[in-house]
Structure 1
Amino acid sequence: MVHLDNLFKRIAERGVTAKKVSEATGISTGNISDWKSGRSMPSAQKLDLLADYLDCSVDYLLGRTDNPEVNR
């Protein structure tokens, strides 16, 4: 099952806010809020942007691995 716990863990580890992620990636804070609440999931394109910004793998963001550097 896909979950986004690692996405929000990585955001917290980096000490950035949803607003900062939004400004850096062009992803709306509304999208980020919807993902956090489980109302929707990010597209592949947005996951790629987030992985680049947060310096980790998409697999990590999706919870497929506990290692942020796997498949990078």
Structure 2
Amino acid sequence: MAYNLRLRELRERQGLSQRQVAERLNVSPGAVARWELGDNKPTMDNLLALAALLECSTDTLLSRDSPPEAG
């Protein structure tokens, strides 16, 4: 699974909208949308913040391992 699809899956699993993610990371909602579309990639700082927000590892976010089980 591509990182952009994993990002969307993990975001939705947490019940967050693109706007909510954008507000918590202090980026524009358009930036989050572009990450999910694969048009752009988050910076390392944003990648780390996304992993913390989505309660997963960066490897999971980058599709290098399986996502945590929904609970």
TM category, shorter: 0.7 to 0.9
Q: TM-score, normalised by structure 1?
A: 0.82
Q: CA deviation at 1:2?
A: 5.5
Q: Give the count of matched residue pairs.
A: 69
2:39 alignment partner AA:
R
RMSD of aligned alpha carbons? 1.9
Structure 1 ranges of 4+ moved more than 6 A: none
8 Å Cα contact 1:60-1:66 kept in structure 2: yes
Matching residue of 2:25 = 25
Q: Give identity over the alignment, percent.
A: 31
Once the two structures are superposed, residues 24-52 of structure 1 have per-residue CA deviations (whole angstroms, 9 ceiling, x without a partner) of 12122111111122211111111001011
Structure 1: gaps of 5 or more residues: none
Scaled by the length of structure 2, the TM-score of the pair is: 0.83
